[in-house]
Copies of this chain bind each other. A is one copy, B any other.
């Protein structure tokens, strides 16, 4: 157990005065991430400036058996970064900036505390695309994006954060610095250690720096909204578009009728490019480099889909401004926490062909239990990722049965061999349901890896899973 005064004086010796907060001086912003309630006061907040600081902090905490909660931009949706009482918060926010953009290699080397948006803008200024993108871009940090294997709207073309990470620098639980800043697309020299840390939610090491892969910056985008009759047609359109637009489908977002109606009637500023009442809507994007040729290819793809009856209506954005207004349909989810509170929001994945049947089964189960419930389905269907939200009109936050709704939904995820987390992670919030998507053997192996890398269990303890 920790000898608190001794540890605090060791931390004070490592950090400049602005780098250490304790007691009443702790800023409340370090006590919660998105959607989590304010947690109990941590023991301290440390804000290192260098990898050497992080190493010294972890070495000290390791000696004292002191739990440490790494924090990025605090935009996580699974409460992995909300500290518990007596834990030490390790914020990466002062370790920020783009260290290098290598134009020949097509890579950028970034400090973990850099916001995604700052990294995206630096890449763009150099003529490149950092392809991972998500709504929290202005606040979320690269280290957190890696630790949670962030997803977003462009995964269908560019992959998840894991696929952008070529190299990593990470400090292990005992303070060992692992500098593995590889810039190569191919490197089979032994185990691929970066993979161990991507998506481990701060439980295996603290990421301090990374080498990210950049993509050629697209110079032209085509966007359409399509209306479809059935979920099977949604999947057929996905495959048709991917074949017809070889390599260039850059978003494929499905919306069920319930979602389309909700956002076009309730969210201010969202207009309906197509009539309501169709069972499904799909927003599809092509990113390319030749506006005329791309537009022709996009039109041929849509004509083919129309002729074969795959789509029953479509609107093509005539300008970038109109494309933005189409995207508001999808971005309207950012308003749900306010306009539709309280609601339970989900991020699951399923084999693509099962998503339609899953959504039907979910709706039936929710309505059976809560007949007045409102439920909307939408998601990155091209990536096998379904989001849905459940709202109970007239039920206030205190009475909202979130845990019961979770239990109903995740039981159906288990039936359909899906994942309880597609892109948001497990954290604390989904920990009770990890076993719905992972076998006992898988959970045992996760614990084996955790015990090997963090034998004292000081890194983000109790997140993702509990010790054996």
Contact = CB atoms under 8 A, between A and B. Distances in A.
B188 A352 contact: no
Interface string A276-305: 000000000001111001001100100000
Interface in A408-454: 417-426, 430, 434, 437-439, 441-446, 448-449, 451-453
B192 A149 contact: yes
A279 B451 CA distance: 54
Contact of A453 (B162, B242, B448): B448
A322 B385 CA distance: 43
Given A352-B105, A449-B191, A186 B384 contact: yes
A235 interface: yes
Nearest to A192: B199
B195 A418 contact: no
Q: Which of A151, A160, A180, A243 has the most CB of B within 10 A?
A: A243
Contact of A449 (B186, B439, B452, B464): B452
A442 B453 CA distance: 12
Interface string A170-191: 0010001111101111111111
Contacts of A244: 289-290
A163 B235 CA distance: 22
A178 B149 CA distance: 22
A439 B192 contact: no
Nearest to A187: B419
A148 to B, nearest CB: 7
A188 B424 contact: yes
Contacts of A235: 104
A396 interface: no
Given A186-B160, A353-B105, A452-B451, A288 B218 contact: no
A351 B105 contact: yes
A102 B351 contact: yes
Given A243-B216, A246-B287, A442-B178, A422 B349 contact: no
A188 B290 contact: no
A33 interface: no
Contact of A419 (B188, B248, B446): B188
A198 interface: yes
Nearest to A178: B441
A263 interface: no
Contacts of A182: 419
A183 B71 CA distance: 31
A190 B384 contact: no
B426 A186 contact: no
B200 A191 contact: yes
A155 interface: yes
A344 B437 CA distance: 48
A235 B442 CA distance: 43
A193 interface: yes
Contact of A196 (B180, B189, B196): B196
A383 interface: yes
Given A247-B248, A445-B178, A188 B184 contact: no
Contacts of A157: 247
Interface in A352-382: 352-353, 380, 382
Given A105-B352, A287-B246, A162 B199 contact: no
A465 interface: yes
Given A106-B352, A289-B244, A448-B452, A191 B186 contact: no
Contact of A187 (B102, B191, B421, B430): B421
Given A242-B216, A419-B187, A446 B384 contact: no
Contact of A445 (B155, B193, B297, B424): B193
Interface of A: 102-107, 148-149, 151, 155-157, 159-160, 162-163, 172, 176-180, 182-193, 195-196, 198-200, 216-219, 235, 239, 242-248, 287-290, 293, 296-297, 300, 349-353, 380, 382-385, 417-426, 430, 434, 437-439, 441-446, 448-449, 451-453, 464-465
Given A184-B418, A290-B300, 8 more contacts: A157-B247, A185-B384, A186-B384, A189-B437, A191-B196, A217-B243, A247-B247, A445-B453
14 contacts: A103-B353, A104-B351, A105-B353, A157-B247, A178-B441, A185-B349, A187-B437, A188-B199, A188-B422, A189-B420, A190-B438, A190-B442, A193-B445, A445-B453
